[in-house]
Amino acid sequence: MSKLKITTRDAATGPVLEIFGELDYANVAELQSVLDGLHLRAGQCLVLDMSGLEFCDSSGITSLIAARGTAHAVQADVALAAVPPNILRVLRIVGLDQIFTIHPDSETATRA
């Protein structure tokens, strides 16, 4: 099992979280803690770069939905970037590809 690692960087459009490892019940609180520490402003876009994500269970998916709700509460948006094929398949099955903007990479997602 890979531990979860999250790095944060700023882009012109807003914060970018690079997520590595496994996003599951055992460590989803770590992502929530990072999200709680962000100061999103209206008009920004939080980008979740999932290029290093190896696994995401239902708790992880719930945290993505919660991040979207938090962003929308301050009139910001959330975009997913570099979603691995196995996780993209799950997002499509549950219909989340219809509510998240999905980009091939974080560079595309952060173009102003």
Reported as a single tens digit per residue, the pLDDT across 43-85 is: 999 999 999 999 999 999 999 999 999 999 999 999 999 999 9
Reported as a single tens digit per residue, the pLDDT across 22-40 is: 999 999 999 999 999 999 9
d(CA 42, CA 33): 20
Domain boundaries, the chain: 5-109
The arithmetic mean of pLDDT across residues 4-21, rounded, is 97
Pick the CATH number of 5-109 from 3.90.1170.50, 3.30.420.610, 3.30.750.24, 3.40.50.10680: 3.30.750.24
Report the predicted TM-score, pTM, of the whole model to 2 decimal places.
0.95
Beginning with the edge strand found earlier in the chain, give each strand of the sheet holding 14-23 in spatial order: 5-11, 14-23, 45-56, 77-81, 101-103
